[in-house]
Amino acid sequence: MNAEEIIDSLKKSICSGLEVETRTTNRFMIHTGYTYPDGDELHIILTKNDGKWIFTDEGHTMMWLSYSNFNMTDSRKNTLDRTLNVNGVSLSNGELSIAIDSDAPDSIGLSLKSLIQTEIQAADLLYLDKDVVKDTFLDDLKTMFVNSNISDRCSYNRKIIGKDNMEYYADVFIDSKTPILVFGIHSPIQCSRATVAMLSLNKTGMDYVFMTVFDSNSQISSGDRDKAINAAVKTTIGINEAVKGAEMLLGLQ
């Protein structure tokens, strides 16, 4: 499949308004209309690498983060790794890329969307670095459980495969007769993800007990907060009571 065929497939599967700018031979800038949080356009290049077509950001996203003295903590790295895994995107030497399956034209648009989503989610990590409390909240929450009397029952960043075949993640997984999934919530997007996970796992009949731990300094709307609280069996505000809350749930089993 040549470049013209790939571009034609993109316009058909995404939108006819998608703009493509020829840079050099076998190198094209894709203008999607999507931007980084500061308004800069996402950097997306269609190019040939070792005889295969790929979409790449040419390292632009990681460079964009570095301009703000971004600090890649363990929790942020876990979040980024999760994003890469879900979207099927590779990160090598700071460059985000995804290979195109030329034998499956219908998948080309999906590959572009995967890179778009990855760039946006990676850029969003910056805002966890803007606030010291948000920056350390999940790390501090996990540390509370690591240093607790129930540490031998706990694992972290646990992936749960629902009966709908979707992947969900618990910040703390507590092994018990009925496993307890703990979700740390410090931002609106974390609140939404936790609520979706709890409602989806409950809807598909998965047998878990849900607990939410809110950052007391988070700016989350009361409506979103209430949805998460209603989906959980136990909620604490701040990390100090999180272990006690989990122990209480263990005691009920």
Give the architecture (CATH level 2) of 132-251: 3-Layer(aba) Sandwich (3.40)
pTM of this prediction exceeds 0.95: no
The pLDDT tens digits along the chain (253 residues) read 787 888 888 777 765 567 888 888 889 999 988 888 778 889 999 999 888 899 999 999 999 888 876 777 777 888 889 899 989 999 999 999 999 987 787 788 889 989 999 998 888 887 654 444 444 788 889 989 999 999 999 999 998 888 878 888 999 999 999 999 999 998 888 888 899 899 888 877 778 999 999 987 777 888 889 999 999 999 999 888 999 999 999 988 7
Supply the CATH classification number for the domain 3-128.
Answer: 3.30.1460
* Structural domain boundaries in the chain: 3-128, 132-251
Would you put residue 33 in left (φ > 0), alpha (ψ -120 to 50) or beta?
left
27 bridge partner residues: 24, 47
